[in-house]
Homo-oligomer: A and B are copies of this chain.
Amino acid sequence: MPDASRPTFGDLQIEMAHGAGGSASRRLLEGLLVPLLSNPALNALGDSAILDVNGQRLAFTCDSFVVKPLTFPGGSIGRLAVHGTLNDLLVSGALPVALLASFILEAGFPGEALRRHVEALAEAARGAGVPVVGGDTKVVENGKGDGLYITTSGIGIVRPGLRLGPDQVRPGDRVLLSGPFGDHGITILLARGEVDLEADLESDSRPLTPLVSALLEAVPEVRWMRDPTRGGLASALNELSQQSSLAVILEEKALPVRAPVRGACELLGLDPLQIANEGQFLAVVPPQQAELALDALRGAPGGEEAAMIGEIRESPAGLVIAETDYGGSRIVDMLIGDPLPRIC
């Protein structure tokens, strides 16, 4: 069935925006890749593909990491590569089983730097209790890379009985967020030194294991989860509103944003809702379980600042709306263009 809302890809060339997780990324994904590769698991467009393997539901996902700089406050490319893929499995409702890591190295990259990045990756994997069971290494000529790119893949076992997806979401459901947002993107921006700003801020890169486990144990009826990485909360929630044909209504004053993130965004004309995160997740839960879910998140280590940030309504279908204290409201758009390239 042709889908009138599906974007088409006719772009003359690849721009940085195609990697930003906003509207250009969506055009590349839904206008080119999905139509050409079409199959049910892909078309679901989840954080992981869900496969039935001899009666067992497995989650399968991969991500490439091209973050610049390679090391930044609170993390590095190796940590990010582990946490990013683990978190995609976790928010798909899966218990991670194993990871793979594939390295594209630029000739001339220092051996000691590589050792440090692999150590960080190994430590992150050990910390999350998931082994890196294989991988690959390729080398490109000096000038054809940027030191180090890492692609990680992961498989996990989907928790039995769990059904997550935009089709599970109902009007009245509540939207929860695991903690303050925007830290990762702004940290990378500042670490690059291109903006004359300093802030006491670090990346939120972390495994979501304890938070997701606490939530699912308290409230197995969770409807939908997603980690709002590239494109931020705005992209993740716009995808939810469009895929569910429902409205996501955010309560502006409930949104947890740290002062340095808010300050940097105001100065630079950015919307914190469009800034990337690497250690937070969104969850939609039935209204009756919302308080229980929030308590579970807040009681888990690292979830102390979790918040209930909004609810699902029938209309305006397909939109994300932020409501202010004063009765005002604004449409929260997907990211257009790419103000913050290569944040993951």
Contact = CB atoms under 8 A, between A and B. Distances in A.
A39 B119 contact: no
Nearest to A61: B134
B132 A39 contact: yes
Nearest to A52: B97
A7 to B, nearest CB: 13
A319 B155 CA distance: 37
A112 to B, nearest CB: 8
16 contacts: A9-B115, A10-B111, A14-B114, A14-B139, A19-B139, A29-B137, A33-B118, A37-B125, A39-B132, A49-B134, A53-B157, A60-B155, A62-B102, A66-B104, A102-B151, A141-B341
The residue in A41, A134, A153 that gathers the most chain B C-beta atoms within 10 A of its C-beta is A134
Interface string A93-129: 0000110111111111111001100110110010000
A161 to B, nearest CB: 15
B14 A62 contact: no
A132 B10 CA distance: 22
Contacts of A136: 62-64, 151
Given A51-B97, A119-B36, A155-B58, A63 B102 contact: yes
A10 B114 CA distance: 11
- Interface size class for chain A? 35 or more
A82 to B, nearest CB: 11
Interface string A62-90: 11111000000000000000000000000
A14 B151 contact: no
A18 B18 CA distance: 31
A39 B131 contact: yes
Q: Ordered nearest first, which 4 A-B pairs have the shortest CB separation? A: A19-B139, A49-B133, A153-B153, A41-B133
A106 B145 CA distance: 10
A19 B138 contact: yes
B64 A104 contact: yes
B49 A141 contact: no
B36 A122 contact: yes
A244 interface: no
A114 B143 CA distance: 21
